[in-house]
Amino acid sequence: MSKILIVAEHQGGKLNAATAKCVHCASQIAGADIHVAVFASDPASVASDAARITGVSKVITVAHAAHANPMAATIAPQLAELAQGYSHVFGPSTTFGKDLMPRVAALLDAPQASDIMAVESATRFRRPIYAGNAIITVEVVAGTQLVATVRTASFDAAQSSTSAAAIESAHPSATLPQHTRFVSVSAARSDRPDMQTAKKVVSGGRALASADNFKILYQLADRMGAAVGASRAAVDAGYAPNDMQVGQTGKIIAPELYLAFGISGAIQHLTGIKDARTIVAVNKDPEAPIFEVADYGLVGDLFQIVPELDKLIASSN
Amino acid sequence: MNRILVSIKRVVDYNVRIRVKPDGTGVITDGVKMSVNPFDEIALEEALRIKEKGLAEEIVAVSIGPADCQQQLRTALAMGADRAVHVQTDAVVEPGSAAKLMLKIVEREQPMLAILGKQAIDDDCNQTGQMLAALWGRPQATFASKVEISGDTAQVTREVDAGLEVLEVDLPAVITTDLRLNEPRYVKLPDIMKAKKKPLETIDPSALGVSTVERLKAVKFDPPSQRSKGVMVKDVGELFTALRGKGLV
Ligand SMILES: Cc1cc2nc3c(=O)[nH]c(=O)nc-3n(C[C@H](O)[C@H](O)[C@H](O)COP(=O)(O)OP(=O)(O)OC[C@H]3O[C@@H](n4cnc5c(N)ncnc54)[C@H](O)[C@@H]3O)c2cc1C
Ligand SMILES: Cc1cc2nc3c(=O)[nH]c(=O)nc-3n(C[C@H](O)[C@H](O)[C@H](O)COP(=O)(O)OP(=O)(O)OC[C@H]3O[C@@H](n4cnc5c(N)ncnc54)[C@H](O)[C@@H]3O)c2cc1C
């Protein structure tokens, strides 16, 4: 039988939606017994959130001041210790999970499957390679413990349940290294929805031509209740901050609606939006590759189209 | 000696349109352009800049893979690496094995830094650097967009989902590169000639006492599911009507 340990991701005392997506993924393994591990300086509120995810049978908390700012170097040795006896250890394919899980896998001498997008059995998984241009099915050798990251765009969050799982505290004995110190993290500055969970995303490319011009996208996004994304070219040029980058090396998202303005549609960008339900592309070049994946394409100048669309939405609300 | 180890992976060039073989046994790589993994070029560029500031004396480029990897190692030498180590194998090398092999080279070379790419653009695993750091028992600063060395610590700015995180790590440490860390220099022709004379050592994995067993086997490869072709609308009004019809605006 499969026994699966999932590491919780959280911010400001709240569980991140990525954790419930990992639980959904894990619950597709038949007969899985699913536990969630919470590392925090004060894990109580996160643990009670985790205990109410359908499919979770136990929550294990590790309280330590060193976990106030989660770092792979400090969590990995403790998580590896807790992971003894589990057949699978999962984390989300966010920068938190991508940083942490391989360190855990190496300490366990276990192989890792990155970005799993589908579960075929307890030992067989599908994952994208080559920026999503091929899908590989991998099989772990029987009896081998497996570490994995879960591609969050491929799974809905598991529902919350009315009954709560048991919460236990653990005290791993692994010593915490002193060689890595947290200095700072730039505060999330926006009250817009988080791009990875937003239902709608308005995104801009190099064509925006300045950070100032991005304001027309922020205005449209606020009108629609959407998050704002950007291509790498726009981020590299300094028009948008790095956490807005969508794509192979940015965020992989699956919103219901993705609006791409002045984005050409490079493979590396398309990787990030393949799972969007509806894609709209606005580009002045009728040959732009983005039109090959768009559900609705409009050839034209974004500097005219964005304000027009904004006006239509405003007047119909 | 202050040394930096940089890994150089040979991958299908990022401009190549990847196609899966019709029988599902892999992707087509015959006759396809191969290059240095873009993140590894950035790793080497960062090492060169650290050396140019006088903070390191030697840069060693390491590649693991078949004989052809030497082309990419020569590129690294032409960019400015001082010498190269090729761990030659035709076997499939999982990130776990790559990290174990890299650790052996680390133990031999005793670098102050090992700089790797955050991911290889073929398998997109994003594992090797973190695994090396764990096996070495040293800090990791992944997805770096800025590196500042002072004495025996490094301050590294990391690109994370929330924005930018700064860590301070004791050296030696492992750093993995993100795209905005730097822009790699172009290789000049005379440097290519000079690179031919730089030392390139070839080692067999068994000589390092590491077996490259496969624990995660490829069962099959499929092309991704295609999105069905959409429609072109003629103006904003039509776009708005279509989206309204679906309840999206
Ligand atoms: C290893 C690697 C990883 C990468 N990872 C990513 C990634 O994660 N995300 C990502 O996005 N990219 C990534 N890239 C970069 C990618 O290859 C492209 O360079 C990038 O996506 C281009 O951004 P863009 O579409 O904004 O710019 P461009 O390709 O320059 O396109 C601009 C578009 O705007 C249109 N346009 C211009 N003016 C107007 C106007 N007034 N109105 C309407 N349309 C207009 C043009 O016709 C053009 O199609 C990566 C590249 C590499 C090598
Ligand atoms: C099922 C399967 C079958 C495969 N079959 C083949 C095959 O037939 N032939 C083949 O050549 N490969 C094959 N590979 C690819 C090979 O195993 C990959 O090199 C390995 O999976 C590492 O993944 P990655 O490069 O995505 O690691 P990542 O962790 O994404 O790499 C991160 C960084 O680590 C460094 N790095 C990783 N590997 C190397 C390396 N070998 N040399 C130098 N630096 C490195 C680089 O700096 C890289 O930027 C296969 C992989 C899998 C999973």
Instruction: Say what the pLDDT of residue A194 is.
Output: 87
Pairwise CA distance, residues A170 & B51, whole Å: 45
**N-term to C-term CA, chain A:** 53
The model's confidence at residue A139, banded by pLDDT at 50, 70 and 90, is: very high
Of the residues A149, A169, A189, the one at which a domain ends: A169
Identify whether A87 is part of a domain. yes
* A149 and A207 fall within a common domain: no
Q: Same domain for A115 and A160?
A: yes
Q: Do A242 and B12 touch (CB under 8 A)?
A: no
Chain B: residue whose CA lies nearest to A238: B180
Report CA torsion sign: B42, B62, B113, B104.
positive
Q: Under an 8 A CB cutoff, do B119 and A249 touch?
A: yes
Summarize pLDDT for A231-279 with one digit per residue, the tens.
999 999 999 999 999 998 899 999 999 999 999 999 999 999 999 999 9
Query: d(Cα B123, Cα A266) in Å, to the nearest integer?
Result: 19
Range of the domain at A224: 200-316
Is residue A43 located within the same domain as residue A127?
yes
Cβ–Cβ of B222/A135 closer than 8 Å? yes
CA distance readout (Å), B140 to A157, B49, B115: 30, 20, 10
DSSP labels for chain B?
Answer: --EEEEE--EEE-TTS---B-TTSSSB--TT--EEE-HHHHHHHHHHHHHHHTTS-SEEEEEEEESTTHHHHHHHHHHHT-SEEEEEE--S---HHHHHHHHHHHHHHH--SEEEEES--TTT----HHHHHHHHHT--EEEEEEEEEEETTEEEEEEEETTEEEEEEEESSEEEEE-GGG--PPPPPHHHHHHHTTS-EEEE-GGGGT-----SEEEEEEEPPPPPPP-EE-SSHHHHHHHHHHTT--
* Beta-carbon separation of B96 and A111 below 8 A: yes
A64 and A164 both lie in a single domain: yes
Task: Round the average pLDDT of chain B to a whole number and report it.
Answer: 96
pLDDT score of B54 more than 70: yes
Q: What total number of domains does chain B contain?
A: 1
Q: What is the pLDDT of residues A70-93, one digit of tens each?
A: 999 999 999 999 999 999 999 999
- Can you say how many angstroms the Cα of residue B178 is from the centroid of all Cα atoms in its chain? 10
Q: pLDDT value at position B1?
A: 80
CA dist., res. A91 & res. A97, Å (int): 5
The residue of A249, A274, A280 whose CB has the most chain B CBs within 10 angstroms, and thus the best one to mutate to test that interface, is A249
Q: Are residues A134 and A233 in the same domain?
A: no
Is the pLDDT score of B128 beyond 80? yes
ipTM: 0.95
CATH of residue A7's domain is 3.40.50.620
Residues A163 and A205 grouped into a single domain: no
- A188, pLDDT greater than 70: no
pLDDT in tens, B189-240: 999 999 999 999 999 999 999 988 999 999 999 999 888 889 999 999 999 9
Distance CA A291, CA A64 (A): 50
> What's the sign of the alpha-carbon dihedral A192, A196, A199, A200?
positive
Count residue pairs from A and B with Cβ separation < 8 A: 249
Pairing of strands B231-232, A296-299: parallel
Residue B162 token pair: 């929330």
Nearest-neighbour CA in chain B from A281: distance (Å): 9
CATH number, position A206: 3.40.50.1220
Atom number, ligand 2, closest to the C-alpha of residue B65:
41
**pLDDT tens, B144-157?**
999 999 999 999 99
Please give the average per-residue pLDDT across A17-41, as a whole number.
Answer: 97
Q: What are φ and ψ of residue B223, in 5° steps?
A: -70, 155
For residue A316, the surrounding DSSP H or E stretch is: helix A302-316
Confidence of residue A189 (pLDDT cuts 50, 70, 90): low
Q: CA angle, A277 as apex, A272 and A280 as ends, to 5°?
A: 80
The ligand that comes nearest to the alpha carbon of residue A205 is 1
Provide the CATH number for the domain around residue B35. Answer: 3.40.50.620
Give pLDDT tens digits for B93-114. 999 999 999 999 999 999 999 9
Tokens of B3: 């040394």
**Closest partner residue to B126 among A98, A257, A274, by Cβ?**
A98
The fraction of chain B above a pLDDT of 70, given in percent, is 100
Quick count: other Cβ atoms within 10 Å of Cβ B37?
25
Within 10 angstroms of residue B131's Cβ, the number of other Cβ atoms is: 31
Taking only the tens place, the pLDDT of each residue in A307-317 is 999 999 999 87
Q: Which residues of A touch B236 (CB under 8 A)?
A: 298, 305, 308-309, 312
How far are the Cα atoms of A60, A142, B7, B131 from residue A179, in angstroms, in the given order?
Answer: 26, 36, 23, 16
Q: Is A160 helix (H, G, I), strand (E, B) or coil?
A: strand
Give me the amino acid identity at A32.
A
Supply the residue whose CA is at minimum distance from atom 6 of ligand 2: B92
Interchain pair A267, B17: CB under 8 A: yes
**Residue A15 sits in the same domain as residue A160:** yes
Q: Which ligand is in closest contact with the Cα of B117? A: 2
At residue B48, the pLDDT reads 98
- Residues of B with CB below 8 A from A242's CB? 145, 159, 163-164, 180
Indicate whether residue B126 lines ligand 2 (CB < 6 A): yes
Burial level of B192, CB count in 10 A (0-12/13-18/19+)? middle
Q: How confident is the model at residue A196 (pLDDT cuts 50, 70, 90)?
A: confident
Question: Within this chain, do residues A126 and A255 fall inside the same structural domain, yes or no?
Answer: no
> Which two three-digit tokens encode residue B102?
């890299």
Asked if A96's CB is within 8 angstroms of B230's CB, the reply is no
Specify if A177 maps to a domain: no
> Residues A28, A71: one domain?
yes
Distance of CA A165 to the CA centre of its chain: 25
Output the residue whose Cα is nearest ligand 1's atom 48. Answer: A264
- Interacting residues of B23 by C-beta distance below 8 A, sequence separation 6+: none
For testing contact with chain A, the best of B35, B112, B126, B156 (most A CBs within 10 A): B126
